[in-house]
């Protein structure tokens, strides 16, 4: 009886893990010439980013996870109907300023406000500076200004 129960529990656990743990990570790829931090979340239209706690550092010419995989189906970025806000912050600002100062002064390089379709179009990898594919996606400052800042 114990063997059957253990076998049943094992099959149940294996059956629940239908996706690889890295299938739905959202990445930020940094090609800006400087180290950056990214933080993101589904709090739009609240763009004060006080709730955005996870802030991975992304070295120049590399990419890192900005939104870790979430096993809760309704939180997967590819099926969300609302907006994922991604804030790009310079490493200098993170090292020299407190989080409260960065937030109150809105000391960011860029904010992307991306739909689930935008994230799919970018193959779950958000570039900074923005790629030409992002020209019509929502961001602040606008695409042209961000590109000009990074020339």
Which of the four pLDDT bands, split at 50, 70 and 90, describes residue 14? low
* CB contact at 8 A, 26 and 76: no
| pLDDT (tens digit per residue) in 63-82 | 998 887 654 344 555 555 67
Q: Which residue has the higher pLDDT, 120 or 45?
A: 120
Round to whole Å and give the CA distance between 48 and 51.
8
* CB contact at 8 A, 90 and 34: yes
pLDDT number for residue 39:
86
Round to whole Å and give the CA distance between 68 and 84.
13
Instruction: Report the percent of the chain where pLDDT is more than 70.
Output: 72
| pLDDT (tens digit per residue) in 122-134 | 998 999 999 999 9
Q: Residue 114's closest CA among 148, 87, 74?
A: 87
pLDDT number for residue 23:
60
Q: Which residue has the higher pLDDT, 47 or 29?
A: 29
């Amino acid at each position: 009886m114990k063997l059957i129960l253990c076998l049943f529990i094992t099959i149940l656990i294996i059956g629940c893990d239908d996706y690889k743990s890295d299938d739905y990570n959202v990445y930020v790829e940094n090609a800006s010439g400087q180290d950056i931090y990214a933080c993101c979340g589904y709090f739009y239209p609240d763009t004060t980013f006080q709730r955005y706690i996870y802030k991975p550092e992304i070295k120049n010419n590399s990419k890192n996870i900005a939104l870790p995989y979430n096993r809760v189906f309704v939180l997967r970025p590819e099926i969300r109907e609302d907006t994922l806000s991604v804030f790009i912050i310079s490493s200098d600002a993170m090292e020299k300023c407190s989080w409260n100062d960065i937030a109150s002064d809105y000391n960011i390089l860029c904010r992307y406000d991306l739909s689930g379709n935008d994230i799919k179009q970018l193959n779950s990898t958000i570039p900074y500076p923005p790629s030409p594919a992002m020209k019509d996606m929502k961001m602040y400052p606008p695409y042209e200004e961000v590109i000009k800042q990074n020339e």
